[in-house]
Structure 1
Amino acid sequence: MAERDVFLTLEGLKKLENELDELKSVKRREIADRIKQALAFGDISENSEYDQAKNEQGQLEERIAKLEMILRNAKLIDDEDISTDVVSIGSKVIVKDLEYDEEMEYTIVGSAEADPYEGKISNESPVGRALLGKKEEEIVEVHVPDGLIKYQILSITR
């Protein structure tokens, strides 16, 4: 997997660092203890507890490796560098869906930090990509699987 820059806000960076710390210091130990208990049952050829714990260990190590790669390639987005003239990574944008006359607020973040349920959309998503570089009052067309969505940018803040 090719490594590339990962854009993170300070909040996102701290969240990922805390998750990595939790996985390394707590979860690793919990899984190691479960493996040790499963081994105590004897024959591991038909030991479902052992198999499950080993699978979880593999998933845990994969997540740790991914987080370490993200943090190694992290580019911190400084609030002071976020322009309010145009949409950029780190911007909070209020848009109006012109078809449904609804307002939505999005924060444009890097893909590692995206969480649509919290209104954080990736700069690589169709909406995020379409909003980048645009100014207030501009109308943005976003091509999505269901067709075309038109948004008007109402405000851009940090």
Structure 2
Amino acid sequence: MEYMSQEGYDKLVAELHYMETVELAQVKDAIAEARDKGDLSENFEYHAAKREQSKLLGRISFKQKVLANARVIDMSQIANGTIQLLCHVGLTNLTRNMQVNYMIVNPHEANVREGKISIKSPIAQALLNKKVGDEVEVKVPAGLLKFRVDSIKY
């Protein structure tokens, strides 16, 4: 079971719809066009299009499985006061003396550029169930980081 936000669920549904309606049609057209060029045994374009179709069908199947197991979280049911999935967390990086803000999300929604980190990441794992004022140390590939929890928003 995969817990995710309504926004993440809707985005995944849109991606799947686009892949099934637009990308799959484009690949089928490319296969048909390559097939019209003659001998398939030595037709590079045909084999490349078939490989692309296979990759796309694999991605579609994966997204379908994720959606089948997805559960949208009701934000009103999240426990107040501690860091949980879908929380916005304000932190002070005590190692570098700087402020950072993250939202803890499902791995399929993670995007560091948007400040969304996976609940499976080392930082999120260390922050789970912490409260404002708590300090945590996190071992990451770059070394040891120390954070203080400044704010939690749901």
TM-score by length of 2: 0.96
| Aligned counterpart, 2:97 | 101
Establish whether residue 59 from structure 1 lines up as the match of residue 55 from structure 2. yes
Which of the residues 117, 120, 139 maps onto 2:116? 120
* Cα distance between partner residues in 2 of 1:78 and 1:90: 10
Tell me the matched-pair count: 154
Runs of 4+ in structure 1 over 4 Å off:
none
Secondary structure (helix, strand or coil) at the match of 2:31 reads helix
Query: Alpha-carbon deviation of 1:118?
Result: 1.2
CA distance in 1, matches of 2:51, 2:68: 26
Match of 2:149? 153
Which amino acid is the alignment partner of residue 34 of structure 1? A
2:81 is equivalent to residue 81 of structure 1: no
Cα root mean square deviation, aligned: 1.0
Report the AA paired with residue 131 of structure 1.
Answer: L
Aligned-partner SS, 1:129: helix
Q: Please, which runs of 5 or more residues in structure 2 have no aligned partner? A: none
Alignment check: 8 A CA contact 1:7 1:111 kept? no
Please give the alpha-carbon distance, in whole angstroms, between the structure 2 residues aligned to 1:97 and 1:107. 15
**TM-score normalized by the length of structure 1:** 0.93
TM-aligned CA deviation for residue 126 of structure 1: 0.4
Aligned twin of 2:132? 136
String of CA shifts for 1:126-157, please: whole Å, max 9, x gaps.
Answer: 01111111001100111112321001111000
Aligned residues with identical type, % of pairs: 38
C-alpha distance in structure 2 between counterparts of 1:117 and 1:81, whole Å: 28
- Report Cα offsets for 1:15-65 as digits up to 9, x if no partner: 000001111111111100110000000012222211221111111111111
Stretch deviating more after TM superposition (58-67 or 43-52): 43-52
Whole-Å separation in 1 of the counterparts to 2:90 and 2:135: 12
Does the CA contact (< 8 Å) of 1:83 and 1:91 recur in 2?
A: no
Q: What SS class does the counterpart of residue 31 from structure 1 fall into?
A: helix
Aligned equivalents of 1:6, 1:117: Cα separation in 2: 22
Q: Distance in 2 between matches of 1:58 and 1:118?
A: 31
- Aligned with residue 72 of structure 1, among 68, 73, 76: 68
